[in-house]
Amino acid sequence: MTAITASIDRSTFVRRVLLVDAATCVAMGLLLSLASDMLSPLLELPSALLQYAGLSLFPIAAFMAWVAMGPNLSRLGVGLVIAGNALWVVASIVLLVSDWVDPSLLGYVFVIAQAATVVLLAELEYVGLRKVAS
């Protein structure tokens, strides 16, 4: 069995962090997809961007929950979640430094706050994965 396909013994900490991550994805997904028209003028971000970002979070949350609730916690699965979180943060930063959008101050705060939350969750997942793997 290779390191990529190896399973990790049950880890309550990593599973709980993954479930919190999934729950935050669902909550943010609901907020962004259902309230995009209301949030758009406040954040000065395109409504379609907010709605599509919100809708993208539902399959991501389902994957996180699936990884967390599997009989064996997969290193590959947790690694994919961490990588996905890192890509989300990079995309958030690129959005703010590009000229694609011109958010309000509240828009900047919103994007930075959600990216910081994702960084925290990814860090917790990474630390938990390292402790379980060692």
3-state secondary structure 9-65: CCCHHHHHHHHHHHHHHHHHHHHHHHCHHHHHHHHCCCHHHHHHHHHHHHHHHHHHH
The pLDDT tens digits for 39-77 are 999 999 999 999 999 999 999 999 999 999 998 888 999
Domain ranges of the chain: 11-133
Supply the mean pLDDT for the chain. Answer: 92
Question: Model's pTM, two decimal places?
Answer: 0.88
Mean pLDDT within 117-131: 95
Overall size of the chain counted in residues: 134
- Please report, rounded to a whole number, the percentage of residues in the chain having pLDDT higher than 90: 82
pLDDT at 122: 98
d(CA 75, CA 94): 28
d(CA 60, CA 45): 22
